[in-house]
Amino acid sequence: MRVLHLTRDFPPPARGGISTAVAGQVAACRGRGIGALVLSFERGRGDVSPLVDEEIGGVPVVRVRTADHLDAALAAAATRGFDVVHVHEPLWWPVLAAHAPGAPLVISVHVDHEHMAALRGGDGGRSLEAQRGLLAAADVVVAPSRAAADRLRAGMPARAARLEVVPHGIVVPEAPPAGPREPLVACVGRFDERKGTADFVGAAQMLLGDRPGVRAVIAGGLPANPGAERRWRRRWLAAWPPEVAARIELPGWLDSGALAALYRRAAVVAVPSHYETFGLVALEAMAHGAPLVATRAGGLVDLVDDGTTGLLCRPGAVAALAAAIGRLLDGPELAARLGAAAAVRARRDFAPAALAGRWEDVYGRALARRR
């Protein structure tokens, strides 16, 4: 069996959770003998030609920089052949509908655009329209968490029988180091109110004001919108007292190696999201044994067992977030115990080998519906 993945920003130049999740899934399926062909939309990357055809770790990858070349990319994929189409990025849908309308179709809902539009008070734009088309056409709809599945089920009760819950996986690193961690608190991801970035900034100011030896790192940004990213940075720098600003790092979007190093040295990793379909940053931190503070938001509740593999607090509660982070900074034994338990769970339940059989079942169901 060969699966055509329609995604964006496929590694090595990964920029976000979808990139990492798809890479983990491709690795999982290869271990089960399921081949992959990846079409990756990389809008905004000036270092990529309009259409690049290459091979990454034995997987053919066609990279596309502009929407004008989506048709050509799909034509290139058709010459290689595939059995199932798996859509991760909804904006591929109009091209797919035109060129491969009869292909067995799986959609992974990495972002619930219906819910995001409601949270932001907007109309959702092209992404929401495309996702609605995919949900209507898909043979199997995959949600990465129970929370995401519940929302989808409520919005599409007639298609509940086509809904599956399969968590994202990651290529699990070597066992995390057992040595002491730095007095460093980290937050990773896109700058966004929904991601709780501003909540972390507020919590960091409280913590750094009381603990002169602690530093903070806010890693990430808005790679597709540098102007908005600069506005976020200016807003923070204007609000921070000089003694706090000197101990907060803004390194931008980190590559996989630098991000792994951050997870391995941070005393605490915070995931302060207001909602997560899954919460891949939390899983990455867990895999590296990082003590974790997250919110009770969407899929994070599936990942983090409060008091066992991390600490949970209410979304948007800045003081509670700061208190939970402070509890781990002040309690290294508790932090070490939570980090060790989190690493065991990540390696046991979310490694490629643990998920391969579930993806094989999903693709088998999609094929069976078209027979």
Predicted local distance difference test score (pLDDT) of residue 111: 87
d(CA 211, CA 352): 40
Predicted local distance difference test score (pLDDT) of residue 45: 60
State the DSSP string of 137-182.
H-SEEEESSHHHHHHHHHH-GGGGGGEEE--------SPPP-SPPE
Asked if 43 contacts 365 with a C-beta cutoff of 8 angstroms, the reply is no
Ranges of beta strands (E only) in the chain are 2-8, 35-41, 51-56, 59-64, 84-87, 105-108, 140-143, 163-165, 182-190, 215-221, 248-252, 266-271, 292-295, 311-313
Task: Look up residue 255 and give its two tokens.
Answer: 């590559």
Between CA 270 and CA 277, with CA 271 as vertex, the angle to 5 degrees is 165
d(CA 199, CA 362): 38
DSSP 30: H
Side chain identity at residue 353, one-letter code: A
Beta strand 311-313 with 51-56: parallel, antiparallel or unpaired? unpaired
State the DSSP string of 45-61.
-TTS-SEEEEEETTEEE
Asked if 95 contacts 74 with a C-beta cutoff of 8 angstroms, the reply is yes
Mean pLDDT in runs of 10 for the chain (371 residues)?
A: 92 77 86 90 67 84 83 82 92 81 90 78 78 90 94 80 90 70 95 94 92 95 88 89 91 90 96 94 94 97 97 97 98 96 93 89 93 73
Predicted local distance difference test score (pLDDT) of residue 256: 83
Predicted local distance difference test score (pLDDT) of residue 48: 56
d(CA 329, CA 122): 39
Judge if pTM exceeds 0.85: yes
Predicted local distance difference test score (pLDDT) of residue 24: 84
Asked if 170 contacts 192 with a C-beta cutoff of 8 angstroms, the reply is no
User: What is the number of other CB atoms lying within 10 angstroms of the CB of residue 133?
Assistant: 16
Longest dimension (CA), the chain: 66
Predicted local distance difference test score (pLDDT) of residue 15: 66
